Structure 1
Amino acid sequence: MTQSEHGVSLASIYQARRRIAGQAARTPLVCSRALSERFDAEILLKLETQQPTGAFKLRGATNMIAALIERHGRDALEAGVVTASTGNHGRAVAFAASRLGIAATICLSRLVPANKVVAIEALGAEVRRVGESQDEAFGEVERLVHERGMTLIPPFDDPLIAAGQGTIGLELMEDAPDLDRVIVGLSGGGLLGGIGAAVKAIRPETRLTGVSLSHGAAMWESLQAGRPVAVEEVESLADSLGGGIGLDNRCTFGLVREVMDDHYQVSEVAIAHAMVDLLEHEKLLVEGAAAVGLAALAEHGIEVRGQRVALILSGNGVALETLDRARSMCGR
């Protein structure tokens, strides 16, 4: 798939940065002394946990809504915006829409933790709980688009969404232009694909490593099959990495295939240990999806000695009961 086909370019990522300025934060990139000593490398942590909504998703949602208003005018969104989400994207859409005075409806499966539902509702969006998977929640989204004329803000599979997430890649290259490797959680592919589009355009030799769940890894299974495939969604500490990529995926499947250099799958135990390590040693509260980069380093012994490595800590939306479960799995 060429750049013109997936629609994400370095230029579109710079345009996204202009649109999201003042809405999404430019987040810190900090060096972890403890992890650097542990892995004999310079380990840098990109703190997307410091976004106003607690996760990177604000970048893509803000970029898409702002771009639609820019191109078609505010009246085009009069019926409101709608999406399906595992939580973080829904909160981002709700936040961005509320800042722009636009109604938002967020469709969530029953697997989405209650803390994320409460956070979305607090932003004034309507929440609909539908089905046992993100794909089932998307059925309700399609109905609302068709019957009410609402505008879909997809969680990942759109060039505007991926370009928004790609602004992380610009910041990485500005703050650490000689990065050897970036390790990113992989689900629908908007985060990894967007970051990869920016990083590879600026420094092609930087390796881009994706990390998925050990079960229910829809993007990885699709890449293995050579086409988008459906997988059974499973409960995980890294619930934000759940869900399918869409059988009609038009953007992120090809984008991830183009930019990702290698890939690892991590166990629930490894995710639990990474979450607890980041809390106890870095004083960072992160959700499971944000901890998978560290989980992959620890579980698979990725060779990073002497390298400069960035881990994307993608969000902090973890329920206390989930954190307790992680601690219990670690024997804490």
Structure 2
Amino acid sequence: MLTREDVLVARDRVSETARHTPLERSYSLSAMTGADVHLKYETVQRTGSFKIRGATNRIATLTDEQQAAGVVAASAGNHAQGVALAATRMGVDSTIVMPERAPVAKVKATRSYGGDVVLHGRDYDAAAERAHEIAEAEGRTYVPAFDDERVMAGQGTLGLEIATDCPDVDTVVVSVGGGGLIAGVATALKAWNDDVRVIGVQAEGAASLPQSLEAGEIVEREAVETIADGIATRKVGELPFEVIQNRVDEVVTVPDSAIAVAVTTLLERTKTLVEGGGAVPVAALLEGAFEYEADETIVPVLSGGNIDLNVLTTVIMRGLIETGRYLRIRTVLEDRPGALEELVEVISRERGNIYAIEHDRASRDIAMDDTVVDLDIETRGPDHVESLLDALEDSGYEVEVLV
């Protein structure tokens, strides 16, 4: 099984490529949760995520013959960038297979780091199958995203940094896709201080680890569906699973709605742009997905910041909806002069800010002399939403909340 010595050796290999990233106290999240929250900012790592650590350590161990033949990898995006940059820095040719739905920003970044990108399949697992085919056909070395001890050891260097920068840490919270990051981090931390609690978090739409731990063997999902594309794998790796069974204290899951809230909270309160997979530790903390004591020192690992702008728009909107900052409603009005003005007056009186209004007089679901009106409204929180809806009801309007 992976050892702390493996991680220490990896630190020497990756130190010239991977940055020692900041770990800073978040006063906002500490106030919101009652814990002493310190964020590990892997968002400012080279290539924007922790993946450069494991990729560098793996490629550094290739023989001269393997380096000449080149490497191939499969990735939803972050491992792709790590492998492409690490390979380019070492003069090694790289081919990266990414899912067809991989974020455009991650595809472009991978190419900019020197990787030859092949788009294939619906998810990471399909891309991995294609990458193995290329490895066999072209004689390339396959660089796993997580199921490799040298990759896991590279990721574990992040744990060494936490131990150095936050020696009073009680709990470290880590996102889990294939499991390479948490396996490496848990190995580094538990060997340093076995009392440190390590908690893994998966998105509900890609969660297989809780079922696997319960069954005592790896359970594979038929499909994954989550905004956290960086951890959207159907199963964890065999090598990480063994480490997780022995060194991870707890694994929890969070829904996409909580992930969206975490992304928007980090953006608004800490001025940090984090992708879905990087935000799940904060989502678990804000959701209360695991128990903790007041003033407990907790380090959520913000494992990546490579979010597609189109996805970000959707995530922010979802986050605003979940926190009562945005409301879309539908009601039916008499199709007469002044009817809309009366409705707007009620909303204005309750200090709702209308973004957009849409009329539909052609709906078959209403009377000929009525009109359907949809309104997008800026609100100031759940209490404000409730008071606004109550005011509309008291004024005689039948309101359907659309989002």
> What stretches of structure 2 of length at least 5 have no aligned partner?
326-403
Tell me, in whole angstroms, the C-alpha distance in 2 between the residues paired with 1:299 and 1:39: 10
Residue 65 (structure 2) pairs with residue 75 (structure 1)? yes
Note if contact 1:187-1:218 (Cα within 8 Å) is conserved in structure 2. Answer: no
Note if contact 1:111-1:235 (Cα within 8 Å) is conserved in structure 2. Answer: no
TM-aligned CA deviation for residue 250 of structure 1: 3.6
Provide the residue aligned with 2:41 in structure 1: 47
Tell me, in whole angstroms, the C-alpha distance in 1 between the residues paired with 2:17 and 2:268: 31
Tell me, in whole angstroms, the C-alpha distance in 2 between the residues paired with 1:221 and 1:175: 34
Tell me, in whole angstroms, the C-alpha distance in 2 between the residues paired with 1:58 and 1:26: 12
Tell me, in whole angstroms, the C-alpha distance in 2 between the residues paired with 1:119 and 1:235: 23
TM-aligned CA deviation for residue 141 of structure 1: 1.2
Residue 314 (structure 2) pairs with residue 320 (structure 1)? no
Question: How many residue pairs align between the two structures?
Answer: 320
TM normalised by structure 2 equals 0.77
What does the per-residue CA deviation read over 1:30-73, in whole Å, with 9 as the maximum and x for residues that have no partner?
000111111122100001011110000000000011122xxx3x
What does the per-residue CA deviation read over 1:175-196, in whole Å, with 9 as the maximum and x for residues that have no partner?
1112110000011110111000
Tell me, in whole angstroms, the C-alpha distance in 1 between the residues paired with 2:11 and 2:34: 34
TM-aligned CA deviation for residue 216 of structure 1: 2.3
Bigger shift: residues 297-306 or 83-92:
297-306
The structure with the largest strand share of the pair is 2
Amino acid at match of 1:43: V
Provide the residue aligned with 1:30 in structure 2: 24
**What SS does structure 1 have at the residue aligned with 2:222?**
coil
**What SS does structure 1 have at the residue aligned with 2:61?**
helix
Amino acid at match of 2:317: S
Residue 80 (structure 2) pairs with residue 90 (structure 1)? yes
Residue 133 (structure 2) pairs with residue 143 (structure 1)? yes
Aligned pairs for 1:167-186 (under 5 A) are 167-186=157-176
Provide the residue aligned with 1:19 in structure 2: 13
Residue 259 (structure 2) pairs with residue 271 (structure 1)? yes
Query: Which one of the candidate residues 111, 114, 132 is aligned to 2:122?
Result: 132
Note if contact 2:205-2:225 (Cα within 8 Å) is conserved in structure 1. Answer: no
> What is the aligned-residue RMSD (CA, Å)?
1.3
Provide the residue aligned with 1:190 in structure 2: 180
Query: Which one of the candidate residues 113, 125, 144 is aligned to 1:123?
Result: 113
TM-aligned CA deviation for residue 300 of structure 1: 2.4
Tell me, in whole angstroms, the C-alpha distance in 1 between the residues paired with 2:101 and 2:222: 13
TM normalised by structure 1 equals 0.93
Tell me, in whole angstroms, the C-alpha distance in 2 between the residues paired with 1:206 and 1:90: 31
Higher Rg = 2
Provide the residue aligned with 2:218 in structure 1: 228
Amino acid at match of 1:33: Y
Provide the residue aligned with 1:292 in structure 2: 280
Higher RCO structure, 1 or 2 (CA under 8 Å, sep 6+): 1
TM-aligned CA deviation for residue 75 of structure 1: 2.6
**What SS does structure 2 have at the residue aligned with 1:101?**
coil
Amino acid at match of 1:218: S
Note if contact 1:219-1:244 (Cα within 8 Å) is conserved in structure 2. Answer: no
